[in-house]
Amino acid sequence: MKLDTAYADKFIKNGALEDIRSEVVDCHNMLEKGLGPGADYLGWLHLPSQTDKGSLKEIDSAAAALKNSCSACVIIGIGGSYLGARAAMEFMDITGGIRIVFAGNNIDPDYLSRRLDGLKGLDIAVNVISKSGTTLEPAAAFRVVMDEMKKRYDANELKKRVVCTTTRSKGALFEIARKNGYGLFFIPENIGGRFSVLTPVGLLPMAIAGIDINEVIKGAARAEDMSMSCDLDKNLSYKYAVYRNLFYRMGKKIEIGASFHQSMLYVLEWWKQLYAESEGKDGKGIVPITAIFSTDLHANGQLIQEGERNIFETFLAIDEKGKDISLPACDDNLDGLNYLSGKGLSFINKMAYKGTSLAHMQGGVPNMTLSVKERSAFCLGQIFYFFQRAVGLSGYMLKVNPFNQPGVEAYKKNMLSLLK
């Protein structure tokens, strides 16, 4: 894992990194010693190094049992109970194996109807993920999906096909699972939803999809080990947090998370929720916006290049190319692209990234690039932990509680009032 800040350094004043060092140490100690706000939700902090092989084997066994009983699995969850697993599957570009369908991440009846229509004729299993079991979106989807399941399978068969990931010994979903004999995995009490991707919340769906969760945890543990120093040259997650806070203090309050790799789309969506929900409170917060280039260069590229200078960018890159396609020659060359014939699209894509990052820097948009070696489960684990550790420090530097989300309850309160 590398963090290239060359196009960000040009915007950092001399001495700024040294001046902020004591603040980094203080915030690091708040995390490590549990002295800051939200300290009851720091269970993710050393989770990778504390995850034992036995618990991973249990998850793998449950995933194998589900896969043996079905040809499709419905993953029901919203927010942190859904985005991490989907990010992992998109990043790894899972093909083959059982079909994965996501539900409960919205209340759109057309979306859910089409997903159910697509399951006709397939043997299905369900993994429903919710701490409380009463969050409207996943709870409603679970009711609808279970109504279909009960038409197909008897009570004993359902026990083999339904797994609930929820809070231990309390909550509606726990009671549903206990009453009906469904499989159970638990979300640690001291880990909030958006930090739960490295718990059964994310690991069980990953295992069902065929991702090596042992490698995911190894990658996360490596990133955890690298995050213990307050030296910004060694701790890249802290360096990233520091740069984004320096830009925020300059008035650059919008961060564009961008990538030239389509497989990063849902990694960026996961990143967006993690940062928006962690930092957006008390009238503060860096606004996270996602973009996939070069597609979005034809949508918001003009604004990024010449709009208000209140933005900075973080690119996510993959060093090693996967499958490549060479551009063929064409006799008439009417499109004028013969000068690229024989070149791989990976080379062209890389030059597009380099040209874009340079242009944006020249246009007054600081940007940095986080790159991983390859599209692997190990690197995926690195990415997840990197951003979790960085937002913990960044939130404390913003002087907010990065581990609560009081504002999320406002829409729920109004919605339930209107529904009743």
Which residues are catalytic, by number?
A: 277, 298, 412
Residues 37, 395: Cα–Cα separation, whole Å: 10
Helices (H) and strands (E) in the chain, counts: 18, 10
Name 7's Cβ contacts closer than 8 Å, sequence gap at least 6.
357, 358, 360, 361, 366, 367, 368
Count of CB atoms situated within 10 Å of the CB of 317: 18
Contact 380, 94 (CB under 8 A): no
Count of CB atoms situated within 10 Å of the CB of 74: 27
Residues 4, 356: Cα–Cα separation, whole Å: 15
Contact 274, 88 (CB under 8 A): no
Contact 287, 254 (CB under 8 A): yes
Half-sphere exposure of 244 (CA within 13 A, CB side): 33
Structure-block tokens of residue 259: 């990538």
Structure-block tokens of residue 418: 């209107």
**N- to C-terminal Cα distance for the chain?**
50
Residues 191, 121: Cα–Cα separation, whole Å: 38
Structure-block tokens of residue 393: 């420090």
Structure-block tokens of residue 30: 């708040």
Structure-block tokens of residue 161: 């096909």
Cis status of the peptide bond prior to 294, with omega within 30 of 0: yes
Contact 294, 360 (CB under 8 A): no
Contact 401, 38 (CB under 8 A): yes
Residues 124, 132: Cα–Cα separation, whole Å: 24
Residue 7, judged by CB atoms within 10 A of its CB (0-12, 13-18, 19+), counts as buried
Q: Is the dihedral of CA 261, 264, 269, 274 positive or negative?
A: negative
